[in-house]
Amino acid sequence: MTQKQPLFLGHEIYRGSSYGDWHPLRVPRVSTVMDLSRALGWLPATQYRVSPRAKPAALRVWHHPDYLEALQRAEVQGVVTRAERERFNIGTPSNPVYPEVYRRPATSAGGSLLAGELLAEGGVVYHPAGGTHHGMPGRANGFCYLNDPVLAILSLRRQGVRRVAYVDIDAHHADGVEHAFAEDEDVLMISIHEVGRWPRTGPLGVTGRGTTVNLPVPRGLNDTEMALIRDALIVPLVEGFAPEAVVLQCGADAVEEDPLSRLALSNNAHWAIVAALKYIAPRYLVLGGGGYNPWSVGRLWTGVWATLNGFELPDRLPGEAEHVLRALTWADHRRGRIPPKNWFTTLRDTPREGEMRKDVAGDIASLIRSAKMTA
């Protein structure tokens, strides 16, 4: 196991960048994680790297050249034609043309490409601006213009890393990543996502070459149920696959306070998965993903960085960190009008343990059986 310190990939482009006043991605996310981590003394310059902006040529390993050109043109012109909107799915309510519509995704993609290089000899990299798992080769999809998790895996491949386990605990199905690797037996993909939620792909089962594992979970998924998913499904499957690298998409939209899902996890559930996957392979890349409550996402992803480093979470945040959280506003959302005090003063949520529902346990058992049969 490597002794290198974990590296954090960030960029100032995420600060103040918004998809527009009515879009869920109007809230700050990565900048909060950087500010909170610095306020806590957790982000020394030696562990921080500025994410480079990927050049179009580097993105063409997976994305179509005409789509990349359209995205760059949209940024310059601030609009798209109707034909471009229909063909590339940009300039829509979900995937609007905003001022950094090419530069911001290209920076997040550049971070994921760099992560593959940084991990060539092993180590741990945290890239909270990554995790745009819905992006498709020739079109935007679900707030994602590019697919940086796919680019990260392809970058690892270029370093000679063959077997990669990709685990996705975002509330939404990893449709873009599945599209890329469904027929690739050297990529194990496990996606846990809310049943019936957009994009409504990823039905229960083990498909492709036996390495595509989808577990839709019901509304109200709690920490107790997620612990069983972690210990009975995710960890054994990833260990059994013997990957050379693990990539975790750690979307923050499966927590109770998120406005876009109906799952009910606390951030403890995410951190426990981050910790459980840390020592399985010599290379570990943790990406962000969804997360639309600015306090939840900032606190959860800062706790991910603490988990990767083994930092102890303070019970009560020091003043400078509390100040970062008090400066956030989300008053245009009903949940943000009167934020509870612990969103300012703590990183850790109260655990949300609950009933272990039979359906959830049954689905886990059926997946384990299918995975054994196809192994």
**Which residue ranges make up the site for Zn ion (CB under 5 A)?**
170-172, 251, 253, 290
Whether 270 and 169 have beta carbons less than 8 Å apart is answered as: yes
| Alpha carbons 107 and 248: distance in angstroms, whole number | 19
Residues found in the chain: 375
User: Is 134 marked active-site?
Assistant: yes
Q: Which two tokens stand for residue 236?
A: 């054994």
| DSSP symbols for 291-321 | --SHHHHHHHHHHHHHHHHTPPPPSS--HHH
Q: Whole-number minimum distance, CB 262 to Zn ion, in Å? A: 12
DSSP 6: P
The nearer residue to Zn ion, 119 or 229, going by C-beta atoms, is 229
| Alpha carbons 92 and 94: distance in angstroms, whole number | 5
Q: Whole-number minimum distance, CB 254 to Zn ion, in Å? A: 8
Q: Whole-number minimum distance, CB 290 to Zn ion, in Å? A: 3
The nearer residue to Zn ion, 43 or 263, going by C-beta atoms, is 263
Could you count the other beta carbons within 10 Å of the beta carbon of residue 85? 17
Cα separation of the two ends of the chain: 27
Q: How far, CA to CA in Å, does 307 sit from each of 272, 327, 343, 356?
A: 9, 25, 19, 26
Closest by CA to 64, choosing from 132, 129, 116, 140, is 140
What's at 333, amino acid-wise?
H
The nearer residue to Zn ion, 28 or 289, going by C-beta atoms, is 289
The nearer residue to Zn ion, 27 or 74, going by C-beta atoms, is 27
Q: Whole-number minimum distance, CB 321 to Zn ion, in Å? A: 26
The nearer residue to Zn ion, 123 or 202, going by C-beta atoms, is 202
Write the burial class of residue 325 (CB in 10 Å: 0-12 exposed, 13-18 middle, 19+ buried).
buried
Whether 288 and 130 have beta carbons less than 8 Å apart is answered as: yes
User: Catalytic one among 63, 133, 134, 172?
Assistant: 134
Q: Whole-number minimum distance, CB 252 to Zn ion, in Å? A: 9
Q: Whole-number minimum distance, CB 104 to Zn ion, in Å? A: 17
The vertex-336 CA angle with 335 and 341, nearest 5°, equals 100
The nearer residue to Zn ion, 229 or 324, going by C-beta atoms, is 229
Q: Which two tokens stand for residue 130?
A: 């990554």
Nearest position to Zn ion, beta carbon: 290
The nearer residue to Zn ion, 209 or 335, going by C-beta atoms, is 335
SS3 content of the chain, % helix, strand, coil (to 5): 40, 15, 45
Q: Whole-number minimum distance, CB 161 to Zn ion, in Å? A: 26
Q: Which two tokens stand for residue 64?
A: 């179509």
| Alpha carbons 246 and 244: distance in angstroms, whole number | 7
| Alpha carbons 259 and 253: distance in angstroms, whole number | 8
Catalytic residues: 134
